Every structure is written in C-alpha cells, then in structure tokens.
Amino acid sequence: MKKDIIIAGIVSILFIVGLISYNTYVRLEDQKEQAIAEEERIKYWEDRFFFVEKNDDEITFDEAEFKIQLLYFEVTYNKTYTLEELEKAYVDKNDLFYEYMYNFFDWKFAPKEMTYALNNICLQEFGEEYREFIKVSSTQQDLAEDIFREEQKLVVDYYGDSRIMLYKLTSEQQLEFYNLYVDPSYVLDDAMMETDEPFSGWKKMEEHLVVTGIDGDNITLEKETSEGTVLYIGTYTKSIDFAVGDQVYVEFYFYAFGADDKGFNRFQYKYYNIQFEMIEKENCN
C-alpha cells in the first residue's frame, strides 16, 4: 500500500512538472511568434515610415515628405526629430529607429492638410511659381517650416487653446495668420476667425460619474455597469470644485479606449488620456 502511495505521488509530481514544462514551452513559443510577427510588421512599414526610395542597392530619402511628417510630429505631439538622426537610425537600426517606428504606429501619417498649409505659406512667401512645398529648394522648405511654427504660436495666442492647429483652419484663416506674421500690427478679422476646432470630427462624450482620485490636474472617475467598473482617467485644467466621492457630470471629446486584462476572461475597461472639458459637481439631494 505504502509503495503504491509513493508511486502515485511520483507520478503526480512528474505530471505536474510535465504540465509546467509544457505550459512554459507554449508560452515561450507564443512569445517567439509574437516577436517574429512584430519584426515582420516593422520590416513591412519601415521604408514607408522613413520615406525611403530604393534603386538597386542605393538608398535615398524623400526628404520633402519626411520634413512634413516630422513637422507634424513636432507641432501635434511635441516630439522633435531631425532628418540626420533618423536617416542614420534607419541604417543602424538603433534604439531611436524602434522608438520612431512605434511612435509612428500610434501617431500615423501627417494629414494632407499639413501639406496644403505649407503650400499656402510657399505661395505667399515665394510666389505662384513656387507654391508647392515639395518642389521648392531645401532652404525654402526650412524657411516655410519656420514660418509655420511662428504662425502656430500666433494661433495658440489668439485662440488660447494649444490643441488648435494651423493646418486645420481654412485657407482664409491661415492667410490671416500669415498677414499677422508679416505685420505684427495687423488686426485679425474676428468674424472670419470663428472655428469649431479642435472638436471638428469628434463626438462630444457626456457622462455621470463618481470621482475616485484627484492628483493635481490628474482626475480618475468611475462608473458601475452590468459588466463591471469602467474607469475614466484624464486631465482637467480648470478650477476644481469637487472632491473624491462626489458624483459629477463630465464632458470630453479627446480620449483613448482600452482594457486591462485581469485574467480568467475578466477585463477592466477604461477611457484614458482624456482631456476633460467640463467636470461639474451634481446635486444628489
């Protein structure tokens, strides 16, 4: 009997060890497949993201399009790259190469409006013959981008909202800011400058939530649903007249959405990177 118990124990141990080994093997194989898939994704997109043109063994960069993309990252995401460092990163496949690739996956290609805005500047600055940004000289491109940056500052000063982008305004409004750039005493036409930016194309979200965290401008809110608790995490730069535990009415447009895996097919859904436009304490009496 004792011998049978020992044998059964050994078999159980061997089974458990085998199961652990198998699960480890499966996990490692999954990680290997994910790594391979990720490298294949990067390989597929790297030439597009770096605006590479290949002719036999010769590699060149479409620097005009590259400049537009980098200006877009700079003014929209406050991330500055230089052509020189990225061209070197493409060849070396260094850490900067992967950082840039993953940022690009998140941030996407510059919208066509960026090119149109730069074309408008070239038209005003260099004349009809030189109205296309991608066709003017590199020196002229650099000047047009510098003017764009200055006009973007004027946009923020005028509207008081750093999320409003020059390239999202109408051609007529962009011309007004060019005129102001050329002549600081120029008076903008307020009626012409009305805009629904930065909210055009975004749906206004309205929710009734409970405050669960306040850390400076960083606010965490929650809502109970039939599927569990949903988190709302973001920033609020206006005056805070609510406290943890208060029920509030909120409005926002900009956000990301995701879920944290809690295991056993359970997830915590959350809205994050929210820019709250309004958080107002509700009277629950």
**Is the pLDDT reported for residue 265 higher than 60?**
no
Residue with tokens 């295991």: 263
In angstroms, what CA-CA distances link 92 with 42, 86, 97, 98, 254?
14, 10, 8, 11, 36
Angle at the Cα of 83 from the Cα atoms of 82 and 85, rounded to 5 degrees: 70
Q: Give per-residue pLDDT as tens, 196-254.
A: 887 777 788 888 999 999 999 899 999 888 777 888 998 998 888 899 999 999 988 87
What length does the chain have?
285
**Is the pLDDT reported for residue 75 higher than 90?**
yes
Residue 56 tokens read as: 């036999």
Mean pLDDT taken over the chain: 85
**Is the pLDDT reported for residue 264 higher than 80?**
no
Q: How far apart are CA 148 and CA 145, in angstroms?
A: 5
Instruction: Cite the DSSP H helix spans in the chain.
Output: 2-49, 63-77, 83-92, 95-107, 112-126, 138-159, 171-182
Residue-level pLDDT at 261 = 60
Classify 231 in phi/psi space as left (phi over 0), alpha (psi -120 to 50) or beta: beta
Q: How far apart are CA 177 and CA 150, in angstroms?
A: 9
DSSP secondary structure string for all residues of 155-210: HHHHHS-TT--GGGS-HHHHHHHHHHHH-TTPPP-TTTT---TT-TT-PPEEEEEE
Residue-level pLDDT at 271 = 84
Q: Give per-residue pLDDT as tens, 101-146.
A: 999 988 889 999 999 999 999 999 998 888 899 999 999 999 999 9
Sequence-ordered list of residues with C-beta below 8 angstroms from that of 179, at least 6 positions apart, any chain: 186
Q: How far apart are CA 205 and CA 110, in angstroms?
A: 26
First to last CA, the chain: 72
In angstroms, what CA-CA distances link 5 with 12, 145, 169?
10, 80, 80
Contact 144, 125 (CB under 8 A): yes
CATH numeric code, 205-281 = 2.40.50
In angstroms, what CA-CA distances link 247 with 102, 147, 208, 236?
38, 46, 7, 16
Q: Quick one: angle between helices 112-126 and 63-77, nearest 10?
A: 110
In angstroms, what CA-CA distances link 64 with 52, 141, 168?
12, 8, 20
